[in-house]
Amino acid sequence: MTYISGINNDHANNNMIDERRRFERKAAAIRVEISHPAIGTMIGSTQDISDGGASVQLDGQTMPPVGTQVNVRFIKVAGAVNQEPVIMNVMYQHRNTLGLMFA
């Protein structure tokens, strides 16, 4: 198992983000529908995606807490990429961005 490791120091917020990635990320703007029974449905857009997960931007919406399992549909112009939602885990949230990992 190969990891790309690095530490990103976010001095403005006094946070340290530890990044360990198994899969190469690709920049991609794909519309995303995230749903959770307690939170409702959120619409966002991927910033990047990989075989392991996606970074999703949600503007002005309630963010599910880290550790939450959510149902996700990736939507293209002509319809959904996946008809049935996939389960993903919220791995991090930073400002208006969620890190999601395929479950």
Write the pLDDT tens digit of every residue in 40-84. Answer: 999 999 999 999 999 999 999 989 999 999 999 999 877 767 789
Q: Which residue has the higher pLDDT, 91 or 2?
A: 91
Q: What is the pLDDT of residue 7?
A: 35
**pLDDT value, residue 13:** 46
Residues sharing a CB contact under 8 Å with residue 84, sequence separation 6 or more, in sequence order: none
pTM recorded for the entire structure? 0.75
What is the rounded CA–CA span in Å between residue 67 and residue 69? 7
Q: 28 pLDDT exceeds 70?
A: yes
Superfamily name and number for 23-102? predicted glycosyltransferase like domains (2.40.10.220)
Q: What is the pLDDT of residue 65?
A: 95
For tokens 């449905």, what's the residue? Answer: 41
Helix (H, G, I), strand (E, B) or coil at 3: coil
Residue spans of the domains in the chain: they are 23-102
